[in-house]
Structure 1
C-alpha cells in the first residue's frame, strides 16, 4: 500500500490543531471533506488515529506515531519538489541558512569565488526552523547553534563562545562584573529551559516543580523587548548581546555557563560535491565571535 501524501498533510494539520474545524480552515477545505479523508487514511492504515468527543480531539498512540513519521516524510517530499524545480530552472543555486546575528559574507564570497558557475543565495532562519530548512529543501546547508536534533544530518563544528545574561537595566544584578547561574534561579527565563540546562536544573531543584511556561519568541529583538520591560531574563551568546546593544538592557557575564557551539549542518543522505566544498571553505574561514558583526546567533 502506498501512503497518500495529501492525506498525510491533512492528518498533520488535524494532529497539530487537534480540531477538525480549525484544520479545515488552515487547509482551505470543507470540514466534511477533511473528515472523510482522515477516515479513509485510517482505513488504509487499519488504525484509529484520533479519539473524537463532543469536546475534544486527541491522538491515539498510533496517531502519535504517525505524526512523528509523517513530518520528516512530508519535509522530504517538499525537498524533492524544490530540488527538481531548481534543477529544471538551471543554473545551479546553492542556498545557505543562517541565524540572526551570524555574518556569512566572508564564507559566501569565498565559496562563490571557487564556484563561479553557482548562484549562492542565503536564507535567514530561526531557532525553530534552523534544521527544518535542511529537511524540506529550502537550504543546502545551515549554520546552526547546538544543541539540535542531529538525526539525518552531517555536522561540522565551526566555533564556540561564552554566553551572558541579559537583564533589565534596573535589575538588582545589572552592572555586576560577574554572576553565578544560581543568582538567576528565581528569575523567569524567557526561553526554553532546555536551552540553558544549568539554569533549568537549579530552578527545578529549588522550586521542586517545573518553571512556568515560556511563550514562543521568534526573534532576539522580541525577546529583548520583554527583558527591557522587566518580564524576565535571557541567556544569549556574547556576540549577540554585543550585536543587539540597547541602553535599557544590561549584559552581565555568567561564570559557570558552558559555551555555545556553532556548527555547519547538511542532510546526510545528499552526495553533492558542493556541500563538502562549502564545508571546507567554512572550516577555513576565521570566524570572529567577539564583535558586532560576528558569526553568532541568538538562543
Structure 2
C-alpha cells in the first residue's frame, strides 16, 4: 500500500495542534476537507488515529506511533525535493548551517579553492532548528552545539569553548571574576533548561525562580534585550557573547557549567563527496586553530 504524503502532512498538523480548526487554518484548507482526509487515511491504514469528543481531540496509541514515524518521513521527502531542485540547476551546491557565534569563512574559502565553481549557501540556525535543517534538507551539513538529537546523524566533534552568564551591567554579580550556578539560584533563566543541564541540579530554588507561563526565549538578540532590562539571565558560549557586544550587558565566566561542545553534523544516509570534503577541511582547521575566547570554528 502506498502512503499519501499529503494525508500524512494533514495528519501531523492535526496531531500537533490537537484541534481540527487550528490545523485547517495552518494548512490553509477548509475544516471539512481536512476531516475527510483524516478519515480517508484511517480507512487506508485500517486504524483509528484520533479520538474526538466534547473534551477535544486526542491521539490514539496508533496515532502517536504514526506521528513519531511521519515526521522524519515528511522531512526526508522535503529534503529530496530540495536536493532535486538544486541538482536541476546544473550547479553543484552545498548548504552549510551554523549556530550564532560560529564562523565558517575559512572552511568555505578552502572548499571553494578545492572545488572551483561550487555554489555555497550559508544558513544561520538556532537552538530549535539546528538539526531540523539537516533532516528536511535546508542544509547539507551544519556546525551544531550539543546537546542535539543525534538519531540518524553523523556527528564529529570540532572543539569546546567556555560558557559565560550574561548579566545587566548593574547586577550585583557583574563585577565578579567568575560565578557559580549557586550564585545565580535566584535568577530567571531566559532559555531552555536543556541547554544548561547544570542549572537543573541546583535544588528547587531555580525552578521556583522560573516564571510560569513564560516560554524560553529562542534568539540571542531577544535574550540580551531582556537581560539588559533586568528580566533574567542567559548562559552563552564565549564566542557568541563576543559577537554581540553591548554596553549594558556584561559576560561573567561560570565555574561549574561545562563547556559548549561544537560539532559537525549531517544525515547518516548522505554519501555526498561535497559533505566529505567540507568535513575533512573543517576538522583539519579545527586542529590547527584551537578556539581562544571569541574564535569560532574557522579560527
Residue 287 to residue 6, structure 1, CA distance change in 2 (3 Å): farther
Name the SS for the 2:6 alignment partner. Answer: helix
Structure 2 residue aligned with 1:98: 98
Between the aligned partners of 2:216 and 2:2, the Cα distance in structure 1 is 37
Cα offsets for 1:130-186 (capped at 9, x unmatched): 111111111110000011001111111111100011112222211111111111122
Structure 1 residue aligned with 2:296: 294
The answer to whether structure 1 residue 267 and structure 2 residue 267 are counterparts is: yes
After the TM superposition, which of the residue ranges 206-215 and 193-202 deviates more from structure 2? 206-215
Structure 2 residue aligned with 1:27: 27
Residue 145 to residue 42, structure 1, CA distance change in 2 (3 Å): same
The answer to whether structure 1 residue 84 and structure 2 residue 84 are counterparts is: yes
Equivalent residue pairs, number = 295
Between the aligned partners of 1:120 and 1:208, the Cα distance in structure 2 is 43
Cα offsets for 1:187-240 (capped at 9, x unmatched): 211111121111112143x46879555524231001111111111111111121
Gaps of 5+ in 1: none
After the TM superposition, which of the residue ranges 44-53 and 158-167 deviates more from structure 2? 44-53
Q: CA deviation at 1:72?
A: 0.5
After the TM superposition, which of the residue ranges 186-195 and 139-148 deviates more from structure 2? 186-195
Aligned-residue RMSD, C-alpha: 1.9
Between the aligned partners of 1:60 and 1:157, the Cα distance in structure 2 is 40
After the TM superposition, which of the residue ranges 248-257 and 72-81 deviates more from structure 2? 248-257
Between the aligned partners of 2:127 and 2:206, the Cα distance in structure 1 is 27
Structure 1 residues 270-289: aligned runs within 5 Å: 270-285=270-285, 286-287=288-289, 289=291
Structure 2 residue aligned with 1:194: 194
Q: CA deviation at 1:102?
A: 1.4
Name the SS for the 1:245 alignment partner. Answer: coil
Name the SS for the 2:202 alignment partner. Answer: helix
Structure 2 residue aligned with 1:50: 50
Structure 1 residue aligned with 2:239: 239
Check conservation: 1:243, 1:291, Cα contact below 8 A.
no
Structure 1 residue aligned with 2:127: 127
Gaps of 5+ in 2: none
